[in-house]
């Protein structure tokens, strides 16, 4: 499956690579023990190897993949409990981020938010 990048949706290529790989790991398209080869992934996504490498590093820091000597990057064995733990932590961080953003919101942004929420 080749991915086409749209200019209007640029979070960052590194973020897309990360989300693409994470989604496929969680969906089981990349299974525990599967090798993830930078060159092949870069060709598949039509991007350079640098954002792939950064995405793999991020996934490794979260435990989704691991670097194995003489084998490269492989998908980690992830239990259901570990997946639940990761999503619990991420949801807690999102709540904290929203709370901090709300505390730092200025009046103009508050008015915009109120107008948008009233239109629904």
- Selected residue with higher pLDDT from 34 and 116: 34
What CATH class does 7-75 carry?
mainly alpha
| Residue range 25-32: mean pLDDT, rounded | 91
Residue 106 DSSP label: -
**pLDDT surpasses 70 at 7:** no
| Residue range 44-51: mean pLDDT, rounded | 94
Q: What is the pLDDT of residue 58?
A: 96
List the domain boundaries for the chain. Answer: 7-75, 80-118
The edge-to-edge listing of strands for the beta sheet with 35-36 is: 35-36, 72-75, 65-68
Q: What is the pLDDT of residue 87?
A: 84
> Is the CB of residue 30 less than 8 Å from the CB of residue 10?
no
> Is the CB of residue 74 less than 8 Å from the CB of residue 33?
yes
User: In this structure, what is the dihedral angle of CA atoms 60, 72, 47, 20, given to the nearest 10 degrees?
Assistant: -40
């Amino acid at each position: 499956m080749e991915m086409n990048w749209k200019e209007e949706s640029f979070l960052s290529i590194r973020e897309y690579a990360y989300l693409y790989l994470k989604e496929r790991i969680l969906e089981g398209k990349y299974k525990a023990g599967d090798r993830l080869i930078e060159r092949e992934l870069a060709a598949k996504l039509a991007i350079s190897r640098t954002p792939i490498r950064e995405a793999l590093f991020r996934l490794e820091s979260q435990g989704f993949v691991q670097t194995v000597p003489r084998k490269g990057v492989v998908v980690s064995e992830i239990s259901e409990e570990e997946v639940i733990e990761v999503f619990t932590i991420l949801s807690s961080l999102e709540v904290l981020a929203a709370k901090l953003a709300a505390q730092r919101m200025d009046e103009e942004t508050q008015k915009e938010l109120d107008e948008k929420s009233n239109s629904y």
